[in-house]
Structure formats: C-alpha cells, structure tokens
Amino acid sequence: MRDAKRRVAIVPGGAAGIGAAVAGAFGNAGLAVAVFDVRPPAEQDSDRRAHYTVDVSVAEEVEVAVSAVAERFGRLDVVVNNAGILDCHAVDDTPEEVWDRVMAVNVKSVFLVSRAAIPHLRAAGGGSIVNISSVHAVATVPRLAAYAASKGAVISLSRQMAMDYADDGIRVNAVVVGSVDTQMGVQHGAAMARDGVVVAPSKGQSAALLSQPSWPKPSCSWRRPRRHLSPGRRSSSTAACLPVCFELCSPAHRKSPESGDSRSP
C-alpha cells in the first residue's frame, strides 16, 4: 500500500479470525492499527498498534474509541468493518433477541463505526471503508435467516455509502467472503451438523461446479429431515481475503484534493 507508514487503520473484530489476519497484514505493511474488539488483545500494544475494548454495536463506546484513535495516531485513513457474529436459525425459530443482536453487531456497527470515522477520513483528505459481507448474502444455505439478512444489508449499505461519500474521496466497498476456517467457521460447521444440514452437491451438480466463485444456479434444496446443503468448500486460510482488503484500502484511487479528480469508488 502506497504511503502505508503514514496510514492509520481501524479494524473492528480484529482480535481473532479474519480481522486479526487483516490487522496483522496492515501492521506488517507499516500501517498503525487500532483493533476494536470485545475480546482481550491478540497482541501487546505498541507505538503502532492499539487495542480498544469496544462493543461496536454501542454508539457511545464506538464514538469514544474512534476519537481516541484519531488523537493517539493523529489521523485516520482506513476502516475495515469486520466484527460479526453468526446465528443458525430459520425465521420460525429465531428468538427476537437473537435477531436484534445479529443485526446490531453485523449491520448497526457498520453504521456506527463509519459515522464516527467519516469526519476523520474527510479531514485526512479521503480514505477507504471496507465492509465485510458474506457469501450468504447472495447464495446461502439453510438456517441462517438473521445472518444472511444482515450480510445482505451490509452490501446495500456499502453501495449507498459509496455513493454518498465519493465526493469526499472516501471509497466504500463490501467484500463478499466465502467460507474461512475461523472460530465462526467452526461454529457454523457444528450448527450444520446439529441441524442435519448436509454439505453435498445437488443431484446432477458436480463438486467442482459448486466450488466456482459464481454459482450458475441455486445449488441447494431443503428436504426435511435431511436438511441440505452448503455449496462451497472451506477455504484453508484466512489469508484468502487479505489481498482484496489491501487493494480496496489502497489510496491510489482517492480523490486528489489538488486536482479534484474523483474516480468512482
């Protein structure tokens, strides 16, 4: 990333899984990184790394933490809205409080962190917001009602934000992540086993076809009691989405305040 050593990034949910990989990669590239997480820090704070214990679904906590990052590092350039939780229910057995919590952590947090960050990104002359969505927003498996809805909302919100902040030089993108081996991935696997959701190709469809990034047609059916199926294979590494995050966080496409050049985000 160009000028990486001047840049400052916030990674909500950066204490584990994909967020930890993103935060680590940013740190290796020279960015200062602030992790917001409800978990304890994954590594010790340093002059280029700070952990804030924050529930990103709570506005007051988010506002205090974003201000603290801007004060500590002097600027803000990148936000990767990665914090998320999974829930495995269908609509008819999803408890209301579970629905609300999934929406709060997966969608409202994107709104809250972005709202707090945007004035600082503007002050830096532009920046990049990457919102982590999921394949389940577009091609899902049984029993992910709240989760799939939340990740669909992340895509819609990202599209809206991209339009609203293009003139500020703030690029906004959603990354649609496939299956990745993290604690969340393990949790999903266990829930599918519990619920009898079977990972297998549909009749007449090969496993190779299912591993294609764009699935040509809906690949699952739902037949009780043998609930059926997940399309892709689990990726072997959280590193899978790192290059995408890096590219999307690059300042290369920013609006230049001098030239007024603003490319579409």
Ligand X SMILES: NC(=O)c1ccc[n+]([C@@H]2O[C@H](COP(=O)([O-])OP(=O)(O)OC[C@H]3O[C@@H](n4cnc5c(N)ncnc54)[C@H](O)[C@@H]3O)[C@@H](O)[C@H]2O)c1
The catalytic site residues sit at 147
Residues 6+ apart with CB under 8 A from 108: 57
Four-residue CA torsion sign, 139, 142, 148, 152: positive
Query: What is the rounded distance in angstroms from the CA atom of residue 89 to the CA atom of residue 66?
Result: 33
> Which of the stretches 16-24, 72-80, 158-166, 198-206 binds ligand X when contact is defined by CB under 6 A?
16-24
Least separation in angstroms between residue 53's CB and ligand X is: 9
Residues 66-105 binding ligand X (CB under 6 A) are: 82-85, 105
Of 4, 8, 17, 129, which one interacts with ligand X (CB under 6 A)?
17
Q: Is 18 in the site for ligand X (CB under 6 A)?
A: yes
Closer to ligand X by Cβ: residue 14 or 251: 14
Contact between residue 202 and residue 223 where contact means Cβ atoms under 8 Å apart: no
Query: What is the rounded distance in angstroms from the CA atom of residue 210 to the CA atom of residue 31?
Result: 37
Of 88, 124, 132, 220, which one interacts with ligand X (CB under 6 A)?
132
Query: What is the rounded distance in angstroms from the CA atom of residue 232 to the CA atom of residue 251?
Result: 32
Of 10, 19, 173, 220, which one interacts with ligand X (CB under 6 A)?
19
Q: Which two tokens stand for residue 1?
A: 């990333």
Residues 6+ apart with CB under 8 A from 60: none
Binding mask 182-221 for ligand X (x = CB under 6 A): xxxx------------------------------------
**Strand spans (E) along the chain:** 8-12, 32-37, 49-53, 78-81, 127-134, 170-177
Q: Which two tokens stand for residue 183?
A: 């604690």
Of 114, 179, 219, 230, which one interacts with ligand X (CB under 6 A)?
179
> Which of 28, 258, 13, 8 minimizes the C-alpha distance to 127?
8
Of 31, 56, 113, 149, which one interacts with ligand X (CB under 6 A)?
56
> Which of the stretches 9-17, 72-80, 225-233, 248-256 binds ligand X when contact is defined by CB under 6 A?
9-17
Closer to ligand X by Cβ: residue 112 or 124: 112
Q: Is 37 in the site for ligand X (CB under 6 A)?
A: yes
Map tokens 């269908």 to a residue.
90
Q: How many residues make contact with ligand X (CB under 6 A)?
A: 29
> Which of the stretches 26-34, 166-174, 176-184, 243-251 binds ligand X when contact is defined by CB under 6 A?
176-184
Q: Is 13 in the site for ligand X (CB under 6 A)?
A: yes
Q: Is 38 in the site for ligand X (CB under 6 A)?
A: yes
Between the two ends of the chain, the Cα-to-Cα distance in Å is 17
Please give the residue ranges that form the binding site for ligand X (CB under 6 A).
Answer: 12-13, 15-19, 36-39, 54-57, 82-85, 105, 132, 134, 177, 179-180, 182-185
